[in-house]
């Protein structure tokens, strides 16, 4: 599953181009650390480009394009041949990724890494046996009395009997046992949106980990998705309460090592920018004074 709202790289203009919505990535931010959520969703503080994120976007783009080829022509060689143009297109859309190129043979090695991930894909699935009904599918659902839920499904397969399979590609390694909660939440979030929009509970949620060649599968039940909806509502309530009070507390954890905002985080002796209640209302699409 592709995140529709990767962490911002530059200060964004204040006017939102689309209605504010909650995605699994931003929901996971809040669960990890409310202050991180604020920095990314409300303040939209810039974050340096990430090599791993860029490679993930590149590999997703190649896998999406691969399915344009007719059955029988979706080969590993065809996928690898798409890499250079996908990289050029990505650089056009996200020029900041050019900063990652440190010269020398960096780019060759980096693209080889993307090629290895694609090779792993072919050891897990045969794309010539699949005919997805959608790729990079934007999904949305307005939760009654709650937030607009939004995300992008990497691939949606529909069986002849109408059963839905939601497929998400991950370019990292599969989580260790006991650390799957954020990915399980993400997949159920999408299943919830599809269920509410189409009236069908997806039969299968499938995570394809290209970093270590693992595939995780889950068959959600209606009850699981009801619980996910309750969790999203509780989360949204906590977010709007934080926005009303202006209090987004830092939650220090091992994940702080990957956070780009330690310099402005009180947990690391930093000082956050002043909280802007109007900006919060605008970016969350909710009143902050009730």
CB of 124 to ligand SF4, least distance (A): 32
12-71: contacts with ligand SF4 (CB under 6 A):
33, 35-36
Environment class of residue 164 by beta-carbon count within 10 Å: exposed (0-12), middle (13-18) or buried (19+)? buried
Stretch that binds ligand SF4, among 95-103, 114-122, 134-142, 246-254 (CB under 6 A): 246-254
Give the integer Cα–Cα distance in Å for 159 and 153. Answer: 17
Residue from 252, 263, 278, 287 in contact with ligand SF4 (CB under 6 A): 252
CB of 82 to ligand SF4, least distance (A): 35
Q: Determine if 262 is a binding residue for ligand SF4 (CB under 6 A).
A: yes
Residue from 143, 267, 277, 286 in contact with ligand SF4 (CB under 6 A): 267
Pairing of strands 148-158, 134-142: antiparallel
Residue from 55, 170, 261, 283 in contact with ligand SF4 (CB under 6 A): 261
What tokens were used for 237?
A: 């309530």
**102 backbone dihedrals φ, ψ, rounded to 5°:** -90, 10
Q: Determine if 251 is a binding residue for ligand SF4 (CB under 6 A).
A: yes
> Please, how many CA atoms are within 13 Å of residue 278, restricted to the half-sphere of its CB?
2
Q: What share of the chain is helix, strand, coil (3-state, %, to 5)?
A: 50, 15, 40
CB atoms within 10 A of CB 261: 22
CB of 278 to ligand SF4, least distance (A): 22
Write b or e for each residue in 43-57: b if 16 or more Cβ atoms lie within 10 A of its Cβ, otherwise e.
bbbbbebbeebbbbb
Residue from 24, 146, 151, 250 in contact with ligand SF4 (CB under 6 A): 250
**Total of residues contacting ligand SF4 (CB under 6 A):** 14
CB of 194 to ligand SF4, least distance (A): 30
> Please, how many CA atoms are within 13 Å of residue 58, restricted to the half-sphere of its CB?
30
Give the integer Cα–Cα distance in Å for 200 and 166. Answer: 12
Stretch that binds ligand SF4, among 117-125, 182-190, 232-240, 249-257 (CB under 6 A): 249-257
* Residue 137 three-state SS: strand
Q: Which is nearer to ligand SF4, 36 or 54 (CB)?
A: 36
CB of 257 to ligand SF4, least distance (A): 9
CB of 254 to ligand SF4, least distance (A): 10
CB of 263 to ligand SF4, least distance (A): 9
Q: Determine if 256 is a binding residue for ligand SF4 (CB under 6 A).
A: yes
204 close to 156: Cβ distance less than 8 angstroms: no
Name the site residues for ligand SF4 (rule: CB under 6 A): 33, 35-36, 250-252, 255-256, 259, 261-262, 265, 267-268
């Amino acid at each position: 599953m592709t995140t529709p709202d990767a962490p911002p790289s530059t200060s964004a203009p204040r006017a939102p181009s689309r209605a504010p919505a909650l995605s699994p990535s931003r929901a996971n931010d809040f669960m990890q650390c409310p202050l991180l959520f604020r920095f990314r969703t409300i303040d939209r503080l810039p974050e340096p480009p990430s090599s791993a994120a860029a490679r993930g976007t590149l590999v997703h783009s190649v896998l999406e394009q691969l399915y344009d080829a007719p059955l029988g022509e979706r080969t590993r060689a065809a996928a690898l041949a798409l890499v250079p143009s996908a990289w050029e297109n990505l650089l056009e859309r996200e020029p900041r990724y050019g900063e990652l190129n440190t010269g020398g043979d960096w780019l060759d090695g980096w693209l080889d890494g993307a090629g290895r991930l694609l090779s792993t894909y072919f050891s897990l699935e045969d794309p010539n046996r699949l005919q997805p009904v959608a790729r990079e599918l934007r999904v949305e659902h307005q939760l009654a009395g709650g937030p607009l839920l939004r995300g992008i499904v990497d691939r949606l397969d529909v069986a002849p009997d109408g059963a839905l399979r939601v497929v998400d590609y991950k370019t990292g390694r599969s989580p260790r046992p006991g650390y799957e909660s954020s990915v399980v939440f993400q997949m159920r979030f999408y299943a919830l949106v599809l269920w509410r929009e189409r009236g069908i509970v997806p039969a299968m949620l499938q995570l394809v980990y290209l970093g270590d060649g693992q595939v995780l599968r889950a068959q959600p039940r209606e009850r699981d998705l009801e619980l996910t909806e309750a969790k999203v509502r509780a989360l949204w309530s906590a977010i709007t309460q934080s926005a009303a009070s202006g209090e987004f507390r830092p939650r220090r954890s091992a994940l702080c090592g990957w956070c780009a905002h330690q310099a402005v985080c009180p947990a690391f002796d930093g000082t956050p920018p002043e909280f802007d209640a109007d900006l919060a209302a605008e970016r969350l699409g909710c009143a902050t004074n009730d």
